Structure 1
Amino acid sequence: MTYEVDYDKPRRKRRGRRAALIIVSVVAVVVVGALVAGMVYLNSLSSAYEDNAQTFEQSFPEDEGRPVKAEDDESINILLLGSDENGGSGETEELSRVPQGGRSDTMMLMHVPSDRESVQIMSVPRDLWVEVPGHGEHKINAALSLGGLPSTIDTFESLFDVRIDHVAAVDMLGFTGLVDALGGVTVNSGYDQPFTTGEGFTFQPGEQEMNSEEALSFVRHRQSFPDGDLQRVRNQQAFIQAVIDQTVTPENLSNPGRVRDLVETFSPHLIVDDTLSSGTVASLGWNLRGAVNNVEFFTVPTGESSYSDDGQWIFYQDQQAMEDIADAIADSTLDDYAASR
C-alpha cells in the first residue's frame, strides 16, 4: 500500500501489528539478527507487512542514466536517511518523522556484499559539498529539499558511481524508543573527554548506561566538538552499534513477545521504498543471518573545511577517498576499506 504521509494528522490505529519484524530488520540494522528471528514468524507477519508497510510516494529517479550493476553483482545498497525538521542545526530542533522534504540530517549507505558475510554502514557528513545533479553545488543534505528522494538518490549514485537498490527513512526517535524497550543501552563514547549537552547531560569517555532521553541527547549533540558533525556521526554509529548488540541477543531473538515489543516500538518511525516487499526483505534477512557479528561502520573521509560563497560552513571532498570508496564498492572490497579506517 502506497500513500503520502501527512504528519500533521494523528496516526490511525491499524489492525494487527504496525509492521512486520522484517521491515524493522533491514532498516535499523538491528537489521540482521532481528530478521533471523522474524523468519520464524514469517507466515503470520508477511500479510501484516503487505497491509501496513508505509512507503514513499516517489523514491527513485528515472532509470535512464543511473549506474548499472554487472550481471554477477548481487550486492545490495540501501540508503538510510534521517531528518531534522529545520535542517538539523542543533539539539533544540524537532526531529521530523520522515524526510519527505526539508534536509536529510543523517545519511548512511548500507552495503551488503554479494557473499552476504558482512555489512558495511558508511556515514556521509551532512556538510559535504557536492554536485546535486540539476541543481549545482550544495551541501549533500540539501538534495532532499531541492528535488526530493529522487534527487537524493541521484546525488549519491553520482557521487559513488553506485546503484541504490532501496531507500528507507528512520528518525532517531525510533532508535531511542528501542532504548526504553531494552531497558536502557550501554554506549561506548569514543570522544576523549567529557562533554555536556544542551539538555544538561554529561557524558564521559568510554562505556556508560543511557536511558532514552540521554541517548537522544547524545546522538544529536555536536556543539562541544571541534569537528562538529563528524563527531556527532561517530556518536550515532556508537549508539546504533550498542542497540544492535543489545537487540540481537539470544534472549531477545528466542522470545516472540519481546520481538513484537521491539517491532511495535520501532516501526512507527520507519518508511521504505515500494520495492521492499515482505518476500524481498525476508530473503535478504535469511541470507544475512551469518553477518550479525560482522557489521562495520565508517565515515566518508573529508577534505578541508571552509565557507561556501554563500556563507555556509562546508567540508570539501577528499577526491582520492571518493574514488577509493567507489572502487571498493565496485570490487566488493568495501569490507577491507572499512577495516582500514
Structure 2
Amino acid sequence: MSVASAPRLGRGSAPRSLVNPYPIRYPDSSSRDVMTRRAWWLVALNLLIPGSAQALAGNRRLGRVGLGATLFLWVCLVFIGIVTLASPAVLVGLMTGAWIPEWLSALRGIPLLVAQGLMMAYALLWAILTVDTLRLVRFVKVKPWARLATGVLAVGAMVLSTGGAVYAAGVAGSARESLGAIFTQTGPAIEPVDGYYNILLLGADSGDGRDSMRFDSISVVSVNADSGAVTIFGIPRDMPGFPFAEGPMQDKYPNGHESHTSPTCGWGSGINQLRTEVEVCGDGNALYPDAVENGSEPGIEATKDAAEGILGIQIPYYAFIDMYGFAALIDALGGVDITVSERLPKGGGPAYDGQPAEDWAIGWIEVGEQHMDGDTAQWYARSRYTTNDWDRMTRQRQLQEAILAQFTPANVLTRFQEVAAAGQHLVQTDIPQSMLGYFVELAIKAKEQPITTIELTPLNGIDDRDPDYAYIQELVQQALYPPPPATSEPAG
C-alpha cells in the first residue's frame, strides 16, 4: 500500500480502517448507538470507580488523582471495617487520639479534624469528577432518551456521594466538638478498681439559680471490667448521717454528716445538700483545690466522697446530667418507650399543702404504653408530689434503661449530629478521652445483658431515717461479688 493510499489520521481520533482499540477515548462520534453506549459506560464507571472515566476518556492526570483517592478510600474503609469487627475500642481510641502522649493531649482532636477535612476533600473531588464525566459524555451525540437518563443517574450519584461525604464530615466535626466539650483531654487511662469501673451519676436542674442547685438524682454505676455487666446503686437524696471516704469532708465530719437548718445552706442532712454547703456556704476550693483543674467541682467531689463512704467502694469518675439537656437528648434519639404504671401529673407542685393535683397540674402522663418525647420524659423522671421519692427513683432508673435501649448504632448514626449537640448541653464529666475506647467496648457488652438496679430504700430493708451503713456496704459487696453457685457432690 502506497503512502498516498494510507488512511489519514485525524487529530485525537483512531484509525478508521482498523479495529478501534480505544472505543471509549476515540469513539465513532457519528454513531448515536456507539455514543449512547459510551455515555452509559462513562457514567457507570464514574459511579463505581471514581476517576476511571477520566483515565479512559479524559484527562489522565485527573484520572490518576481520582483513582488514587478512590483506592485510598477503599483501603481506609476495609481497615475500619476490620478494626470495628475485631475491636471497636481500638477504632475509638485511634479516632479520639488516645494514642497521643499525655504531654501532647491538646492534639487529641487532630484525627477527627483530619477525617473531617478528608471527607470534605472527597466531596469536592467527586463533584469535579462527575461534572467532568458529563462533559466527556458529549450529550449532543447521545440518543435523546439516554440524555435524560444518564444525566439523572450521574447527578443523582453525585448528590449521594458528595452528600454522604459532607454528612460524614459533619459527623466527624460534631464528634470532635462534643468530645472536646464533654470529656477532659488530660488524664491517663486507669485500671479498674477491684474489677469494676465505678461512676457517680448525678442529675439536677442546672439552669436558673445554679447557686442553689441540688442534685435531685444520685446513683453509682458499677461496670464489670470483664463482662460489661452493669449494676446501678440508687442513693436517696435525703439520706441522713452518711459517712465520708477518707478526705477533707471526713476530717470535718468524722462521725458522719450532720444536719443543717440554715435557709442559705440548706435544710436537713441529705446528701443532696452537699453542693450548697461546700460551694455556697463554704470554701470549696480550699477543700478540693484540684477539682476544677481536673474537670470537676468541689461540690461534686464532696458528693463523690459521700457516695464512697456510703457504698464502701472507690469512685474515680462522675457524670453530671443536666435535666434541661436531658429532654433534648431524648428528642434527638426520637423519644423513648415507657410503660407507665400510674397516672402522674406534670407541673411544679401544689401551691399549698393539700391542694389537689387537678388544680395545679399542667398536664397528665396516662397509664399504659407511652412513647415519650423529651418534655414528657422529664416530667416522668421528676414527678413526686402524688407518689414519693422511692417511686421517683424507680422511674428514673426505668428511664435510664429506656434511653440506653435507644442507643443503637443505626439510631445514633442517623441522628448523630442532634445527639452530639444535645450531649454538649447534657453531660459534664471528668472521664478523660483516653478512657473512651474502654467504655465503648464495655457498653457493647453491657447491651447484651440486663441491668441490675439496687435502690438504697426501705424496699431493700434500709431504714431511710437511720440507715445501717455497714449493712449497705455488705449489700453492695454481695451485688458486685456474688458467691459462686454451690456444686453438689457426686453420689458415692
TM-score normalized with structure 1 length: 0.65
Deviation of 1:194 (Å): 2.1
Decide whether aligned partners of structure 1 residues 172 and 38 sit closer, same or farther in structure 2, where only a CA change above 3 A counts.
farther
Q: Which residue does the alignment assign to 2:203?
A: 82
Decide whether aligned partners of structure 1 residues 40 and 205 sit closer, same or farther in structure 2, where only a CA change above 3 A counts.
farther
For residues 267-293 of structure 1, what are the alpha-carbon distances to aligned partners after superposition, in whole Å with 9 as ceiling and x for unaligned? 2221112xx221212222124321113
Q: 1:327 aligns with which of 477, 483, 486?
A: 477
Decide whether aligned partners of structure 1 residues 40 and 101 sit closer, same or farther in structure 2, where only a CA change above 3 A counts.
farther
Unaligned runs of 5+ in 1: 1-33, 56-68, 86-93, 306-314, 337-341
Matched, 1:251 2:410: yes
Alignment of 1:253-292 (within 5 A): 253=412, 255=413, 257-273=414-430, 276-292=431-447
Q: Is the 8 A contact 2:228 2:443 kept in 1?
A: yes
Write the letter of the residue equivalent to 1:160: L
Matched, 1:169 2:320: yes
Matched, 1:105 2:216: yes
Write the letter of the residue equivalent to 1:245: A
Size of the aligned set, in residue pairs, is: 260
Deviation of 1:325 (Å): 2.7
TM-score normalized with structure 2 length: 0.47
Unaligned runs of 5+ in 2: 1-87, 97-110, 113-171, 185-189, 244-249, 259-268, 279-298, 348-360, 486-492
Q: Secondary structure at the match of 2:439?
A: helix
For residues 37-73 of structure 1, what are the alpha-carbon distances to aligned partners after superposition, in whole Å with 9 as ceiling and x for unaligned? 9679644268646643466xxxxxxxxxxxxx99982
Q: Secondary structure at the match of 1:158?
A: helix
Matched, 1:240 2:400: yes
Decide whether aligned partners of structure 1 residues 73 and 304 sit closer, same or farther in structure 2, where only a CA change above 3 A counts.
closer
> How many Å separate the matches in 2 of 1:53 and 1:279?
13
Q: Mean Cα displacement is larger for which, 150-159 or 44-53? A: 44-53
Q: 1:210 aligns with which of 372, 383, 387?
A: 372
Deviation of 1:264 (Å): 1.3
Deviation of 1:120 (Å): 1.4
Matched, 1:182 2:330: no
Alignment of 1:131-210 (within 5 A): 131=242, 133=250, 134-135=252-253, 136-137=257-258, 138-147=269-278, 148-189=299-340, 191=341, 193-198=342-347, 199-210=361-372
> How many Å separate the matches in 1 of 2:329 and 2:429?
19
> How many Å separate the matches in 2 of 1:197 and 1:122?
27
> How many Å separate the matches in 1 of 2:89 and 2:417?
12
Q: 1:126 aligns with which of 237, 242, 260?
A: 237
Q: 1:300 aligns with which of 456, 462, 472?
A: 456
Q: Is the 8 A contact 2:214 2:276 kept in 1?
A: yes
Q: Secondary structure at the match of 1:218?
A: helix
For residues 86-136 of structure 1, what are the alpha-carbon distances to aligned partners after superposition, in whole Å with 9 as ceiling and x for unaligned? xxxxxxxx677xx78642211110101132331112221111113353243
> How many Å separate the matches in 1 of 2:331 and 2:343?
24
Matched, 1:316 2:478: no
Q: Is the 8 A contact 1:36 1:289 kept in 2?
A: no
> How many Å separate the matches in 1 of 2:392 and 2:398?
10
Q: Which residue does the alignment assign to 2:52?
A: none
Write the letter of the residue equivalent to 2:196: S
Deviation of 1:195 (Å): 2.9
> How many Å separate the matches in 1 of 2:333 and 2:179?
27
Greater RCO structure (CA 8 Å; 6+ sep): 1
> How many Å separate the matches in 1 of 2:448 and 2:208?
30
Decide whether aligned partners of structure 1 residues 290 and 177 sit closer, same or farther in structure 2, where only a CA change above 3 A counts.
same
Decide whether aligned partners of structure 1 residues 47 and 217 sit closer, same or farther in structure 2, where only a CA change above 3 A counts.
closer
Decide whether aligned partners of structure 1 residues 128 and 286 sit closer, same or farther in structure 2, where only a CA change above 3 A counts.
same
> How many Å separate the matches in 2 of 1:284 and 1:319?
30
Identity fraction in percent: 22
> How many Å separate the matches in 1 of 2:468 and 2:367?
29
> How many Å separate the matches in 1 of 2:182 and 2:307?
25
Q: Secondary structure at the match of 1:241?
A: helix
> How many Å separate the matches in 1 of 2:337 and 2:191?
41
| Structure showing the higher helix proportion among its residues | 2
Q: Which residue does the alignment assign to 1:22?
A: none
Write the letter of the residue equivalent to 1:173: Y
